[in-house]
Amino acid sequence: RTLSGGSGGGSGGSAMALPEEPVPTIIPSCPLPGKICDVVRSERPRSCCGMAMAGLRTAKYQLPEWHRRNTGVYYQAFTASEQAERDRAESQQLIKHAAASAQRAQEYSKSTLDQRLQDIHFWRMELQKEIMELDAETNMLAAQKLRLERALDATEVPYAVVLDNLECRDRRQPPDLVTDEVERELLKEADLIRDIRDLLKRTIIQATTQIRSNRIAKENCELDWSDKVETYHIDDKCISYCNDSTNVQSHPSSVKFEENASTPKTWAQFSHDNISFGEQEKLASVQLRSLINNIIHDASEDLRMQRAAVNEAFDAHCRQLDEAKYKLERHLEHILKDIKDEEDNIMSLKKAIKDKEAHLKVAQTRLYDRSFRPNIELCRDEPQFRLVSEVEELAVFLEALKRKLMESEQNLKNLEETRMKLEKEIAVKANSIFIDRQKCMGNRVRYPVDLEVASYK
């Protein structure tokens, strides 16, 4: 009765706990009644056989004891059977209840996962739309920034012409060194070009900053979109799981909430904030593109009007430019000869290194093969020391040659850079000569500088 009551209490305490296996009833052992029959000495013969029979009779049960023992065994069997039947009924009821509850819980979880997939899909599409719009807007703003850079580059030649004209006029000899209307117009043109260049540089910096902000907003949306794509795949895989799936396992430690887990409200707000930030940056980018169009147009018009006011040409400083250009060309010829000599030197060094590496391979191969000499033949003999010395000497030479090769290559690189600088300087001087002679000496009005057109080239 005690075991039956304990089992029933355990079943009622937890619906999910399995019923315990019934423990068989333990009957405490007790010594058999040792009833000794007294034998009258006068009536029993004194023999060993008689004493043995008397001892055998003392180990036997009495008939009432035999009946009581059988009754106890019957009762114990009946109690165990009754307890087992009761436990079986409780187990079947628990199995049905657990199956129904588990099925309901699984269906509810599946429905919540399906709803979650719809929410993720909605925000994913919104983020994807915002990413595409931000990407298109960033590309258009980058094109406008490129227009600014091209317009800035296009102001270099007019500015150089103006500075060259002013420098040439400053070297005029008295009494022609006068402040006339042409010089005042040239100074106005120089100031105008400087202001335009400063404005273009500031606008380029602003466009660069805005492009960076657009990309940051796009990156935030892309990261959010990527997380949602991954989460969508995970939840879609989770919703496909069933009890017959072969890739399900037991993960007891997964039944917990992460400390950094978000709530549905913060989850939706995060995507909303990313999209809102992207919309703000997109609007700022559209306004900046409109501003860039106005800046380029106004600067082009101002420069065109000022250029129309300057229509004189000057004849100075050409001989100095010719002399400087000639010296640069002489230096360039010398540099080209040095480059040719340095290239030949590098080829010689490479050939020497290759030859020394062949010698080194021979020596190392000899050492390697000699390392397989058997037993006592593995001797540190004179050839062994000589080979080791040869390897070390070759290594030193190779290191020196490689170091010298690196120095020669660096010298060649420096010479190449010098050549490029000289060629650039020669081109600048040729351009200056072209401007002074062709533009400043009667052809100034023939070089059109339209920033709006140049920004598209």
pLDDT at position 12: 37
Residue, of 133 and 350, whose pLDDT is higher: 133
The share of the chain scoring above pLDDT 90, in percent, equals 29
pLDDT at position 38: 43
**Which whole number is the average pLDDT over 115-134?**
93
Residue 253: pLDDT over 70: yes
Report d(CA 146, CA 138) in Å as an integer.
Answer: 12
Amino acid present at 253: S
What's the farthest any 2 CA atoms get from each other in the chain? 181
pLDDT at position 281: 94
pLDDT at position 59: 64
- Which runs of consecutive H residues, i.e. helices, occur in 240-316? 264-309
Report d(CA 402, CA 409) in Å as an integer.
Answer: 10
Determine the 3-state secondary structure of 443 from DSSP. coil
Report d(CA 287, CA 213) in Å as an integer.
Answer: 14
> Tokens in use for 111?
């429905």
Please say whether the beta carbons of 311 and 444 come within 8 A: yes
Mean pLDDT (the chain) is 78
pLDDT at position 317: 53
pLDDT digits 0-9 by tens, 309-326: 775 545 545 676 678 778
pLDDT digits 0-9 by tens, 371-395: 887 887 777 778 778 878 888 888 8
pLDDT digits 0-9 by tens, 403-440: 888 888 898 899 889 989 999 888 777 765 665 566 55
Residue, of 221 and 448, whose pLDDT is higher: 221
Residue 90: pLDDT over 80: yes
Give, in order, the Cα–Cα distances in Å from 424 to each of 135, 176, 203, 405, 438: 38, 35, 28, 28, 20
Report d(CA 323, CA 12) in Å as an integer.
Answer: 111
Residue 51: pLDDT over 50: no
pLDDT at position 64: 86
pLDDT at position 180: 63
pLDDT at position 440: 59
Which of 429, 452, 454, 434 is CA-nearest to residue 444? 434
**Total residues belonging to the chain:** 457
